[in-house]
Amino acid sequence: MTTTLYGKDILDVQSLTDDEVHLIMETAARYERVMKSGGRLLNMDGKTLATLFYEPSTRTRLSFETAMLRLGGTVLSVADAKTSSSSKKGETIYDTGKMIEGYADVAVIRHPETGSAAELAAGSSKPVINGGDGAGQHPTQALLDLYTIIKEKGKTEGLTVCLAGDLKNGRTVHSGAALLARMGVKFIFTAPEALAMPASITEGLKKSGVEVEINPDLDSAVAKSDVLYMTRIQKERFEDPEEYERLKTSYEVTNETVKKAKKGMIIMHPLPRVTEIAVEVDAYEGAAYFRQAANGVPVRMALLALVCGCE
């Protein structure tokens, strides 16, 4: 394969070609095999990753930092960039990008504003990876979700994927729908009307020939789904606290839900969960959400090495 991602910003899934996606999947699988066999990878020896997180993060930040360290690189991290970086003094994200290029070889940013990753990339000559920009995109989550489905189900073609919960504000489902639509899946969108998938996404999928069913009933949706992708109701995206309180318990996956599910269905979640998946469900063999989180490491290892030309 002659595809290369060297020097490329990873801002959204739409800008990735199918060949690039396949390259990321293949590289991640190879890195995972090396790690499981006890081998070491030093692809990023002498390279530095800068992580800029203007929003709270556990999995994304830790998995990127773990990925860089497991590749032999180093990490510069601003744990709470919103309050402990020069943005508090009025520095623009563009100027932060100009500054970062003198310190690091690649940067990851998470920010509450849609378009923030693109602004950082505009200021930096080094590759920038979007770790989540508001209610916009989360491309690396979509990639690790695809990787998880392939590992768990062995394929994507012909699968029915139910995206459930907060589809209006969930950047993980926005990116995931765009990527999985290219992989031959059918969708069921399960959400309260107030949190429905944006019409621009739903209609765009339908126009491109993707089968989409709108079904707010979770029990009937899981009965025909191969993958249930559950999301939390995102409190931080609500302007009206009363609206959040009204909607926060819209869905809860329990053992009773699992009993009604299609045989072999897996359950995914970008985490953190709140009340939408009961702890009792963790014992279900198809509960893949913690395996999914772990898959972030090899996928992000692959991305870091590829965009830095170290693969």
Is 111 catalytic? The answer is no
**Dihedral angle sign, alpha carbons of residues 235, 61, 52, 9:** negative
User: In the chain, how long is the greatest CA-to-CA distance?
Assistant: 55
Tell me if 271 is assigned to a ligand binding site: yes
Judge residue 131's burial from the number of C-beta atoms within 10 Å of its C-beta, 0-12 exposed, 13-18 middle, 19 or more buried. buried
Q: Which of 8, 30, 59, 273 is catalytic?
A: 59
Catalytic residue among 27, 47, 51, 60: 60
Handedness of CA 157, 161, 166, 172 (dihedral sign): negative
In the structure encoding, which two tokens stand for residue 192, read together? Answer: 């309260």
Q: With 0-12 CB in 10 A as exposed, 13-18 as middle and 19+ as buried, what is 74?
A: middle
Active-site residue, selected from the candidate residues 36, 40, 89, 207: 89
Residue length of the chain: 311
* 60 annotated among ligand-binding-site residues: yes
Active site residue 60: yes
| Among the listed residues 111, 107, 110, 89, the one whose alpha carbon sits nearest the alpha carbon of residue 98 | 107
Q: Which of 70, 138, 186, 269 is catalytic?
A: 138
Q: Is 74 helix (H, G, I), strand (E, B) or coil?
A: strand
Classify 232 in phi/psi space as left (phi over 0), alpha (psi -120 to 50) or beta. beta
59 annotated as ligand-binding: yes
Measure the CA–CA gap between 149 and 286, rounded to whole angstroms.
11
Encoding tokens for residue 77?
A: 């991290």
Q: Are strands 128-133 and 106-111 parallel, antiparallel or unpaired?
A: parallel
Helix (H, G, I), strand (E, B) or coil at 261: coil
Quick check: is 59 catalytic? yes
Q: Is 232 annotated as a binding residue?
A: yes
Signed CA dihedral, 141, 142, 147, 150: sign only: positive
Question: Cα–Cα distance between 245 and 160 in angstroms, integer?
Answer: 31
Q: Phi/psi of residue 77, each to 5°?
A: -130, 135
User: Cβ distance 136 to 110 under 8 Å?
Assistant: no
Tell whether 141 is in a known binding site: yes
291 assigned to a ligand binding site: no
Is 111 annotated as belonging to a binding site? no
110 is in an annotated binding site: yes
Annotated binding site for carbamoyl phosphate: 59-60, 110, 138, 141, 271-272
- Binding site members: 59-60, 89, 110, 138, 141, 171, 232, 271-272
Task: Give the residue numbers marked as catalytic.
Answer: 59-60, 89, 110, 138
Sequence ranges of the binding site for L-aspartate: 89, 171, 232
